Amino acid sequence: MPALTPIQGLSRALRAVTNDGDRHCLAEFARAAGVNGRLVNRAARAIAINADAYLKLCAAVGICPVNGFVAQKEFDLSDLSWNRLAIKILLALIAGKSLRKLSKEWRVEYSAINRAKNGQHVGIDNFLKICAGLNVHPHALLAPRPGVFHGERSVQQPGEAA
């Protein structure tokens, strides 16, 4: 049996938690996950969606965004930080590789890498390929939420004492 694509894995998980894609369940799930209902419907039908919505839905159903298996730990529903991805791509460019060379190595369209480098959104397939090329897990690109612990230190609210 061929391996599932990331969106197919998400589709399977969404159908499992929404009574096989029931419209009302999908609408409630979309509200709870903070994702546009149209995008949840697309994901349930295994149609590609943007990376922000994809990561939020993976977190909401509890699957790893890379392999589609049940996640070993919960992760934050924060938005994707496109600037973090852009910085990582710029660092790869500084290391002496051109966008064309990265495009060829990662098997990603030149225009997709260029959009990501400029902090713009890309589709989930290209996003996952770029992450793999950079050797970065998608979770590392999630923007921290104020007051949530993120490993080394907690982010302080403005006006809080250290």
Work out the angle at residue 34's Cα, subtended by the Cα atoms of residues 138 and 135, and round it to the nearest 5 degrees. 5
Instruction: Say which range, 69-73, 76-80, 120-124, 153-157, has the weakest mean pLDDT.
Output: 153-157
91 and 129 co-located in one domain: yes
User: Does residue 146 lie in a domain region?
Assistant: no
In a domain, 114, yes or no: yes
| Interacting residues of 84 by C-beta distance below 8 A, sequence separation 6+ | 140, 141, 143
Expressed as residue numbers, the domain containing 119 is 82-141
Q: Is residue 51 one of the residues assigned to a domain?
A: yes
160 within domain boundaries: no
Residues 13 and 54 placed together within one structural domain of the fold: yes
Predicted TM-score (pTM) of the model is 0.67
Q: What is the pLDDT of residues 118-134, one digit of tens each?
A: 888 888 888 888 888 88
97 and 56 in a common domain: no
Query: Half-sphere exposure (CA, 13 Å, Cβ side) for 88?
Result: 19
pLDDT at 44: 92
Tell me the pLDDT band of 83, cut-offs 50, 70 and 90.
confident
pLDDT > 50? residue 154: no
In this prediction, residues 43-61 reach a mean pLDDT of 87
